[in-house]
Structure 1
């Protein structure tokens, strides 16, 4: 799997992330374990690549260092570009755990996020070191880094529109909050889905310009993508396999609440119903404020 496809998956996940937060259902332990295993496998491959750079650099042989850059340029691009998916998954995992009051998913997603940051920092140090790195390669990677950071803020901002605490997973806090505000305003318009499609298309085209056409670690990327797909529960899809919209999830949530309320009102002892007790409490509070 190519890293551009991972960014597309991140866009899909960010679009349906609010629905995952709305349902308040935990991610399956199998999906979390698979995500940990696949991500650690890819991180190990990245660290092996960077370890080769340190060994070559210690020799002081410029030709060998130049060969390292030529052979591993694609891996460095994947380290930078795939951070989009890592941050989106970390944001959704944190949001789900905080809404459910648990720590089942966020410790894993946060650990992978921090490990990815370490790998990215090592790439940036290699760029700054410049030994064996041509000017064109350094400029190419720096442009990819800037493109990645901007799209991270866009996708994390779209999730943060429904949970302001998640803005900390963006690169630039001000920019992420701005995108969150725009996403919040756009969520109630009929063009919301069209905007999401155009955003995904623009992001795909933007990344394709800055990465190699051939995938460097296709099997490792495929493993991560499969584990992320496992996180998307079956209730996020309709009967024909299409992902439901956020409005559909909201309607289903309201229907479930209505069914629960009707069932409680039909109980033999209506006074034992939690809904009735809550209604009476709110009613008493309103009357107390009105007649005080």
Structure 2
């Protein structure tokens, strides 16, 4: 699985993030466990690759250093690009934990985020102080880093549009907040979907132009992506397999609440009417059937 496809998944999750946060259920625990396991395995493979560079550098052999760059430059690209998904998942989990008042998901996803930050810092050190690479590779990797940072802020801005506190997962928080404000004013329905299509197309084009055609760890990327897909519960999809919009989730949530009230009205015992103590429920003759 190429890293650009991982970025496409990050865009999908971020753009449907507000709808996921509006849902009634949280992320399944087995999906989080799988995400931790897949991410840890990929981190181990990355660290092994970066350790080979250190050994090549210590040897002082120019040929060995150039060979490392030829074989493993795609790993550096993947570390930079796949951080987009790591940050989006961490922001989504933090939003869900805050919604339900628990700390069940965010400790795991934030730990993955911190591990990815460590790998990214090591990659940036190699980009800045490394030996054996060509000027062309150095320039291309730096341009890739800049593009990834900007698009990461755009994706986090989609989540921060409804939950401003999630802007902390952006690369540049001020820029992330600006994207959040723009996203709130982008409209709904067709206008918003068109915006998403254009954004995704532009992001994908940038990544494909600045990354290699080959992939370093396709199976590791696939495992991480599969664990993220497991986080998308079946109720998030409609009958044709497309993710539901935020508007539809809100409509279904309101319908669910109305159905619950109607079911409680059928109960012969007020103790079973859990919403009867609400302020709105006490108006009119809502309680007459139990007290009259």
- What residue in structure 1 maps to residue 238 of structure 2? 238
TM-score, normalization by structure 2: 0.92
Structure 1 regions of 5+ residues with no counterpart? 284-292
- What residue in structure 2 maps to residue 69 of structure 1? 69
Q: In the alignment, is the contact (CA less than 8 A) between 1:24 and 1:96 conserved in 2?
A: no
CA 166–128 in structure 1, closer or farther in 2 if over 3 Å, else same: same
Structure 2 regions of 5+ residues with no counterpart? 284-292
Once the two structures are superposed, the pairs formed by residues 260-279 of structure 1 within 5 Å of their partners are 260-269=260-269, 273-279=273-279
CA 268–187 in structure 1, closer or farther in 2 if over 3 Å, else same: farther
* Separation (CA, whole Å) in 2 of partners of 1:263 and 1:182: 41
* Separation (CA, whole Å) in 1 of partners of 2:205 and 2:137: 20
- What residue in structure 2 maps to residue 207 of structure 1? 207
With 183-192 and 27-36 compared, the bigger mean Cα shift is at 183-192
Aligned residues: 283
Q: In the alignment, is the contact (CA less than 8 A) between 1:43 and 1:115 conserved in 2?
A: yes
- What residue in structure 2 maps to residue 150 of structure 1? 150
Once the two structures are superposed, the pairs formed by residues 110-189 of structure 1 within 5 Å of their partners are 110-188=110-188
1:11 aligns with 2:19: no
- What residue in structure 2 maps to residue 255 of structure 1? 255
Superposition RMSD on alpha carbons, in Å? 1.7
Q: 1:213-242: per-residue Cα shift (whole Å, max 9, x none)?
A: 111111111111111100000001112222
Task: For residue 206 of structure 1, report the CA deviation from its aligned partner.
Answer: 0.9
SS in 2 for 1:238: coil
* Separation (CA, whole Å) in 1 of partners of 2:152 and 2:179: 10
CA 232–272 in structure 1, closer or farther in 2 if over 3 Å, else same: closer
* Separation (CA, whole Å) in 1 of partners of 2:74 and 2:265: 62
CA 282–207 in structure 1, closer or farther in 2 if over 3 Å, else same: farther
Task: For residue 86 of structure 1, report the CA deviation from its aligned partner.
Answer: 0.6
With 234-243 and 264-273 compared, the bigger mean Cα shift is at 264-273
Once the two structures are superposed, the pairs formed by residues 34-113 of structure 1 within 5 Å of their partners are 34-113=34-113
CA 282–171 in structure 1, closer or farther in 2 if over 3 Å, else same: farther
- What residue in structure 2 maps to residue 289 of structure 1? none
Task: For residue 281 of structure 1, report the CA deviation from its aligned partner.
Answer: 8.8
